[in-house]
Chain A
Amino acid sequence: MAGPTPYMALAFILFVIGATGLLTRRNALIMFMSVELMLNAVNLTFVAAGRAIGNFTGQISVFFVLVVAAAEVVIGLAIIVAVFQKRNSASVDELSEMKG
Chain B
Amino acid sequence: MDLLADYLWLIIALPLAGAVALHFGGKFLPEPLPGIAAAGAIGTAFLIAAAAFVPLATGDAEPHVLMLWDWMPGLGAAFEIRWDQLSALMTLIITGVGTLIHIYSIGYMHGDPRFSRFFTYLNLFAASMLTLVLANNYAMMFVGWELVGLCSYLLISFWFTRPSAAAAGKKAFVVNRIGDFAFIVGLMLIFTQFGSLTMSETVLVHPGEVLSPGTATAIAILFLIGAAGKSAQIPLYVWLPDAMEGPTPVSALIHAATMVTAGVYLIARNAAIFELSPVALPIVATVGAATALVAALIAVGQNDIKKVLAYSTVSQLGYMFLAIGSAGYVAGVFHLMTHAFFKALLFLGAGSVIHGMHEEQDMRKMGGLRKAMPITHATMLVATLAIAGIFPFAGFFSKDEILAAAFANGGYYLVLWGVGLFTAFLTAFYMTRQYIMVFWGKPRWVEGLTPHESSLWMTVPLMVLAVLSAGAGFLNTPQLHTLEDYLEPVFEALNPAHLESELPRILGMDGLAFGLAIVSLGVAVIGIGSALFVYARSS
Complex contact flag A–B (Cβ < 8 Å): no
